[in-house]
Chain A
């Protein structure tokens, strides 16, 4: 699938996925220069562990997992934010109080807590399934689905500037 030799295969993958890996890291750390350094580190590790041909879908999830680990190592942060739920509720209620805020999608997405932004990034930008996102984030599929759902509700609330019930999935 990715060329005859190890080197050709790797080059094809770098050209296919470097942009998405950079964007993923950019949204995690919000620093272009750091995102480029982490992209370099990601592909350095990928090259060191390169085994040639892989299933394309699995390969993308593998790269995102390496990228996430590189980001986590930089900030020595292996676990997700434990207060993400509280953070999201506070954000939504604060923004709902000012419906004239008129923020755009990019800014609204940037306001989401990391734990909610990440699964949405991996799904919308990376095209990963809930199972792959759970594996990448060392979480469960159920928890990922709950966060995806709450993240979308929060985004809608931020963009429409109106309060919406933010109860956990299943409570409505």
Chain B
């Protein structure tokens, strides 16, 4: 193997150059240096690709597929209680609004609150129907 062939292999995959290229690197100082530099560049690239992953991504994927990780069950219980509480609050507001004899401005304010409350969940910020 000559230096040109070696450098071509290094550009394709510096982590997997094969036996023959490794033998060449052990004898050729310049090519060994080229390999080292490219591996370093790949390490930097690997680090740069590690964008932050949203918290709880794997859990959300599993829940969406009907999985219920045991250690997370209590979280769903709390979430369910919050949902129930939110629904009860909405029912109260709705009936209060219906009975209300307050001014037009106040009724409009209540309507706006109702609209925002029925389209967005205040705890998880996900939209609801």
Contacts and interface: CB of A to CB of B under 8 A. Distances in A.
Contacts of B62: 11, 14
Interface stretch (A53-61, A70-78, A89-97, A119-127): A119-127
B64 interface: yes
Contacts of A129: 16
What is the predominant secondary structure among interface residues of chain A facing chain B? helix
Given A11-B62, A47-B65, A36 B50 contact: no
A109 B45 contact: yes
Interface string B36-52: 00100110111111110
Question: How big is chain B's contact interface, by range?
Answer: 20 to 34
Interface in A124-155: 124-125, 129-130, 145, 148-149, 152-153, 155
A104 B44 CA distance: 10
A47 to B, nearest CB: 5
Looking at B13, B42, B64, the one whose CB has the most chain A CB atoms below 10 A away is B13
A135 B60 CA distance: 29
B57 A106 contact: no
What is the predominant secondary structure among interface residues of chain B facing chain A? helix
Contacts of B8: 149, 169-170
Given A11-B62, A129-B16, A145-B12, A26 B51 contact: yes
Interface in A1-54: 7, 10-11, 14-15, 18-19, 22-23, 26-27, 32, 36, 39-40, 43-44, 47
Contacts of A153: 11
A124 B46 contact: yes
Give the 4 A-B CB pairs with smallest separation, nearest first. A105-B48, A149-B11, A106-B48, A18-B58
14 contacts: A19-B57, A23-B49, A26-B51, A27-B49, A40-B64, A109-B45, A109-B48, A109-B49, A121-B49, A125-B46, A130-B12, A153-B11, A156-B41, A172-B4
Interface of A: 7, 10-11, 14-15, 18-19, 22-23, 26-27, 32, 36, 39-40, 43-44, 47, 104-106, 109, 120-121, 123-125, 129-130, 145, 148-149, 152-153, 155-156, 159, 169-170, 172
